[in-house]
Structure formats: C-alpha cells, structure tokens
Amino acid sequence: MKINNLQKRIRHGILFPALFIISQAVSAQVIVDQVMAVVGGKIILRSDIEKQYLQYQAQGYEQGEELKCAIFDQLILQKLLLNQSELDSVTVSDAQVEGELDRRMRFYIRQIGSEQKLEEYFKTSIRSLKAELKETIKEQLLVQTMQGKITKDVVVTPNEVREFFNNIHPDSLPYVDAEIEVAQIVRKPPVSDKERREVRARLEEYRQKIMAGEDFAIYAALYSQDQTTAKKGGELGFFERGTMVPEFEAAAFNLKPGIVSPVIETKFGFHILQLIDRRADQINVRHILLQPKTTDDDLVKAVRFLDSLRTQINIGTITFEEAAQKFSDDEDTRNNGGLLINPETNTTRLSPDKMERLLFFQVDTMKLNTVSSPLFINTSDGKQAYRIVMVKSRTLPHKANLKEDYQRIQETALQEKQNNTLEKWIDKRKKTTYIDINEEYKGCDILKHWKDETF
C-alpha cells in the first residue's frame, strides 16, 4: 500500500481502531526508548513510532523511513491536540471511555469470531486487553473532542457540495463498489428463572465446600466457565477500580484474605470470588463463573416474538426503526434504527465482501424494505439469538455521481473543509507551542512544516 494513501488516511484523523490492538509479534519486541519529540507538555517516544510502524507493516504498507515520517507527523498532531485539550480543560467521562472500549471489544470479537478466540490469540483476558487500551482510548477521545471543538462550526452547503464535485476531473471520479444498507432487530432470549436458580444453587454448593476447606483454585479449574482464567485456577491478576463491571468490583474490593464472597450476579453470569493479594490500590482475586443457558423453549419464544413484530411492521402498526429502538437487544444498532455500521468507514454502507458471509447470503436476494423471517445468529459474546433484517438500500458498482452518492460526496467535501480549518488552526497554534523534534528525523520533509527552526 502506498505511503501517500497512508498520509491521506491519517493526516487529520485518528488512527483507525484496529491499530490499537497490539499484535503478539509487536508486543513481544523490546524497543529501546528515547524521547523523539516534545510538543508542549507532551512527549513522543521512539517506542510510540516503532509500535505503530510495525502495526502498519502488518497491514501491508510499504516499509521504510517515509512510513515512519508519516506516523511521526500524525503523532505530533495528536500531541498538539492533546496538549491543547488540557489547556482548554477539555474532558471525557469514564462512561465515554468505557463505552468506546466496549464498542472496540465488540468489533474485535466480531472480526476474530468470539471472545474465547480473542483471548486465546492474545493469551490474555478481555479485561486485560481493555486495561491495556484504556489510557490510549482516553487520549484518543480527548483528541477527537478537541478536533471537534475546532471544526464544530464548519458546514457545507448544497452549492459547495456541487462545486466540490464539479471540480473533480471526470477521469478522476472514483468507482463505487456495490453497497447494501441493512437494518436488524436482535432478540436475545431471556434465561428462565428456573435456570438462574439452578446455576446459583450449584455455585453456592461450590462456595460451601470451599469454605469447608476445599481448594478454590481446583474448583475454578474444574468448573469455571471463564476459560481464560480457569486454567490459572480462576486468577485474574492485579486490577484497579474502574476496570471491572460495578457489581464485580463492589464485591472484590470488599473482600478480606481467605474469605469467599457470596454469589454475585453480573451481565456475564454468576460468580464467587476469593482475594489473593492486595497491593496499594490494586487487588488480585480468583473467581468462578457459571453462566445460565437459554433453553429451546426460550429460543422458540424469541422466534414467536420476532414473528409477531414482523407482522406489525408489515401492516404498518410500527415502523422498523421504532421497533428496533424499542425492542432490539443489540446495543450497537438499537439507537440507529437498527442499521448496521461499517466499522471501517463509520457509515451504514456495507460492501458485500465486508459483510458477514451468512448475513450476505441471507440478504442478497431480499427485496428492498421487506422484513425477513427470524434468522438464527450467535452473538459476539457467544450467546444464541434470533434477528429479523431489512434491506434499506442497494447500489450496483458505478462511477460516483451526485444522485446516488450525494451523502458520500457531501461527507468528503465537509472533511476537506474541516481539514482546511484544522490546518489554519495548526499554523496558528504551532507558533505559540513549544515543539522540539529529534535531529534523527531532520530528513523528513513532511515534518518541516511543524517548526523550520527545529532543523
């Protein structure tokens, strides 16, 4: 992949989410650190550049110093925005960070197939991955918020969109692949009260035996359904507040050495915990997780519910969008009228080669605005569910035009105008911000715009 394509993708944006999962090969390498730049009160380390360089390499970008220069340029921009966010007292909430972490995890899980496969690949738990990414995601959200503050008043009029399009030479107009917009309503069958009682009772039985002298770690290895920690006797490793779900943390941080917690319930299932060690603001605990299962009867109820909802949509009692917002169990699409989001473009347009294969075969022959029968799916957390889907729009491959691609062209025109606004802000801000770049990178032409006297 060409370097100029890389520069277009990252020059004024945040590195796309996939880059924040550090591959095993990358994390295994030891990089000798050195400060390569100072931007205001922020520093850029050699390891920051090298890690992203290795990640881009893994995605097929051309190797070499030009790639490192482009990455370095992006990092300086991020640090400038981050430094300004502190000066302007820009903040993001813990809830925003947690929400983005959860969204990223769901994306990665969809990409790799399941939570278990993701944990096996990285040889660590979802919790540990989230802990590693937490500070990075927080900084990224701060940068995005600061960037949004700078460009918040930028808009494009229809005339500007047409002018932008007309200024593109006909030979330069891109071909747009076939795309589909698909909306869904997901129903995850609720677990029966009987199943929940039975699972809780089984875990209480384990708790009583452990309190009577049995080894917690052995019971975790034999019975815990958290497969990542079961092989380690249920041990989670040290974590701090804000890492776990609230119910789990409340029980964990109130534990005393040797005491087994009462049975607690979280969105993952039922747990019992035992404190291993406490170190300042961090603790290490073991846990045993048992997850209630849905029965065939529960699945049948979900199918019947969706069938009934499909009928109501077809006769006009409720719209698909209203039904999705009111009844869908999918957090990613519920408040978007059920529309699936393309994580690479953050739009609702999906190319067939990027869709789940099963979903593509299901919708390929569907007519527009018709609702499917209930379709079985396995959710990202490994649970069984059903969904109904609707194809909202479908386009064939074509050369970009205003009629079919107005939204796409409008977004591009807006982005260019926002980039110009950001460039003006950078030119103004870099004159009043201390920027010092290591001489090792004095050969990077792309960096000279930051501060000529640096070189």
3-class DSSP state of 240: strand
Arithmetic mean of pLDDT, 400-414: 91
Which pair of tokens denotes residue 93? Answer: 């909430």
Q: Domain ranges in the chain?
A: 3-158+404-454, 178-190+295-396, 194-290
Q: Which CATH architecture has domain 178-190+295-396?
A: Roll (3.10)
pTM > 0.85: yes or no: no
Q: How many CA atoms lie within 13 A of 340 on its CB side?
A: 29
Nearest of 187, 176, 153 to residue 329 by alpha carbon: 187
Instruction: Give the gyration radius of the chain's Cα atoms.
Output: 26
pLDDT at 9: 41
- Same CATH topology for 3-158+404-454 and 178-190+295-396? no
Under the banding of pLDDT at 50, 70 and 90, the label for residue 20 is very low
Under the banding of pLDDT at 50, 70 and 90, the label for residue 142 is very high
3-class DSSP state of 30: coil
- Domain 3-158+404-454 sits in CATH at 1.10.4030.10
Nearest of 389, 386, 392, 393 to residue 371 by alpha carbon: 389
Task: Answer yes or no: is pLDDT of 279 > 60.
Answer: yes
228 vs 260 pLDDT, higher one: 260
pLDDT at 202: 95
Arithmetic mean of pLDDT, 322-344: 90
Task: Answer yes or no: is pLDDT of 6 > 60.
Answer: no
Q: What's the mean per-residue pLDDT of the chain?
A: 86
Q: How open is the CA angle 240-143-50, to the nearest 5 degrees?
A: 75
Task: Answer yes or no: is pLDDT of 429 > 80.
Answer: yes
Task: Answer yes or no: is pLDDT of 2 > 50.
Answer: no
- DSSP string covering 329-376: --TTTGGGTTB--BTTTTBS-B-GGGS-HHHHHHHTTPPTT-BPPPEE
Task: Answer yes or no: is pLDDT of 237 > 90.
Answer: no
pLDDT at 294: 84
The predicted-structure confidence for 368-402, as pLDDT tens digits, reads as follows 999 999 999 877 666 789 999 999 999 889 999 99
| % of the chain surpassing 70 pLDDT | 91
Fold that domain 194-290 belongs to in CATH: Chitinase A; domain 3 (3.10.50)
The predicted-structure confidence for 309-319, as pLDDT tens digits, reads as follows 999 999 999 99
Helix (H) / strand (E) element for 131: namely helix 126-151
- Dist CA 354 CA 334 (whole Å): 21
The predicted-structure confidence for 175-208, as pLDDT tens digits, reads as follows 888 889 999 999 988 888 888 999 999 999 999 9
Nearest of 98, 110, 13, 74 to residue 377 by alpha carbon: 110
3-class DSSP state of 73: helix
Indicate the range of 3-12, 177-186, 402-411 predicted with least confidence.
Answer: 3-12
- Exposed / middle / buried, residue 59 (Cβ in 10 Å: 0-12, 13-18, 19+): exposed
pLDDT at 30: 52
Nearest of 402, 3, 12 to residue 168 by alpha carbon: 402
pLDDT at 453: 47
| % of the chain surpassing 90 pLDDT | 50
The predicted-structure confidence for 91-132, as pLDDT tens digits, reads as follows 999 889 988 888 888 777 777 767 777 777 777 777 788 888
